[in-house]
Amino acid sequence: MRSPITRICVASVLATAFVAVEPTHSEDWKVVGGFGWFGVGKAQQLEKGHVYWVGEFSGTFFNDKGDGSPFHLAGVRCPASNDLDFNHKKATAAGICVISDPSGDQAYLTWRCEGDTHACHGTFDYTGGTGKYQGISGSNTFTGVTQVNWPDGMATGYSTWNR
């Protein structure tokens, strides 16, 4: 027969184990920060002042909470498209992203935004992940800003997440 102290210790260990494997709630993945990116791709002119760009935005995410916070200093790669109508100052962009932290764990998301040819506002939804991001879910908001559209089809900019 076990003593009451042994039973309490066993119960405590089991309770801790159940809490440790409890999935993270989606609000825990509402990271706030910035993603500096460089867009590499090709732009196809559809008509004068209207181009369709296909390529990849890639860069680094900086979580406002700093070291030890989700995705801080993670690499981000986002294959995407962007329909830019400079004549009417309208744009629609969409794509997917792979976020990879320094340990190699990855999170995946889909995104879409609309706006003018300088900034777009939209949402992204986590679709899965590996390692500590397995089972990640939730919807988030972001703003993407293009600082420079280079003549060769490249672009430079940043995105803010959940601000």
DSSP letters spanning 108-156: EEEEEEEE-SSEEEEEEEEEEESGGGTT---EEEEEEEEEEE-TTS-EE
Contacts of the segment 62-70: beta carbons below 8 A, 24+ positions apart: 62/33, 62/34, 62/35, 62/36, 63/31, 63/32, 63/33, 64/32, 64/33, 64/34, 65/32, 65/33, 69/31, 70/28, 70/29, 70/31
Distance CA 134, CA 21 (A): 12
- Homologous superfamily, domain 24-161: SO1590-like (2.40.350.10)
* pTM of this structure: 0.82
Distance CA 145, CA 118 (A): 6
**Other beta carbons within 10 Å of 86:** 14
Distance CA 52, CA 149 (A): 13
By the 10 Å C-beta count (0-12 exposed, 13-18 middle, 19+ buried), 17 is classed as exposed
Residue spans of the domains in the chain: they are 24-161
Indicate the pairing of strand 106-115 with strand 155-161: unpaired
Tokens of 147: 């600082």
Per-residue pLDDT of the chain (163 residues), as tens digits, is: 555 444 444 444 444 333 333 445 555 799 999 999 999 999 999 999 999 999 999 999 999 999 999 999 999 999 999 999 999 999 999 999 999 999 999 999 999 999 999 999 999 999 999 999 999 999 999 999 999 988 887 999 999 999 9
6 Cβ neighbours under 8 A, 6+ residues apart? none
